[in-house]
């Protein structure tokens, strides 16, 4: 009787341990495609529009300056043969001065645009991370990986959560 009890207890213990180890290996993994998420988010189009309007006036000023430089360079090319040395030198100096002005205004503007883009992208990235956590918790995922950094995954065992993430972020 003691032997039967001991054997049954051992069998039960072995069964429980096998079940526990099998569940320890059950690992639910989700996958997200960040490029797809960014391309589908309405917030990204809004950011682009906001930045365009925010910097439109300064960009137009630079585009006008670029047009003026092209005009003066073409004028130099066309008329340099008939110009005096003094006129050529004056026009070269004028073009160089305009190019320097373009560089002095263009670099800071591009840096300012990049800074603003990064600020706006940080807000969207925060929304995406929050959405990933929300979807992962609801779906009881153990891990969520980024598709771009994953070398291989079995599509039968890994769920693509990108559309769910877009859905959640789009509502915010």
In a domain, 13, yes or no: no
DSSP string, 71-96: HHHHHHHHHTTTS-HHHHHHHHHHHH
Local confidence pLDDT in tens for the 172 residues of the chain: 444 333 433 443 444 444 444 444 567 888 898 998 989 999 988 999 999 999 999 999 999 999 999 999 998 898 888 888 998 899 899 999 999 999 999 999 999 999 999 999 999 999 999 999 999 899 888 888 888 888 888 777 888 888 888 988 888 7
Q: What is the CATH number of the domain that holds 137?
A: 3.30.910.20
* Residue 36 domain-assigned (yes or no): yes
Residue 21 lies in a domain: no
| Backbone torsions φ then ψ of 157, nearest 5 degrees | -110, -10
State how many domains the chain has.
1
Domain that holds residue 157: 27-170
Return the structure tokens found at 168. 């959640």
Rounded to an integer, what is the distance from CA 153 to the centroid of its chain? Answer: 23
Q: Specify if 112 maps to a domain.
A: yes
């Amino acid at each position: 009787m003691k032997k039967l009890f001991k054997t049954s207890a051992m069998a039960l213990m072995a069964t429980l341990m096998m079940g526990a180890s099998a569940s320890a290996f059950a690992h639910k993994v989700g996958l997200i495609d960040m490029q797809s998420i960014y391309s589908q988010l309405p917030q990204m189009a809004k950011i682009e529009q906001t930045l365009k309007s925010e910097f439109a006036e300064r960009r137009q000023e630079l585009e006008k300056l670029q047009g003026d430089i092209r005009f003066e360079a073409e004028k130099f090319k066309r008329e340099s043969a008939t110009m005096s040395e003094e006129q050529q030198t004056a026009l070269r100096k004028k073009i160089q001065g305009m190019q320097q002005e373009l560089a002095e205004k263009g670099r800071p503007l591009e840096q300012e645009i990049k800074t603003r883009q990064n600020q706006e992208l940080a807000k969207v990235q925060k929304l995406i991370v929050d959405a990933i956590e929300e979807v992962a918790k609801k779906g009881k995922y153990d891990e969520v990986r980024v598709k771009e950094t994953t070398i291989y995954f079995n599509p039968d065992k890994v769920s693509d959560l990108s559309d769910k993430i877009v859905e959640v972020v789009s509502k915010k």
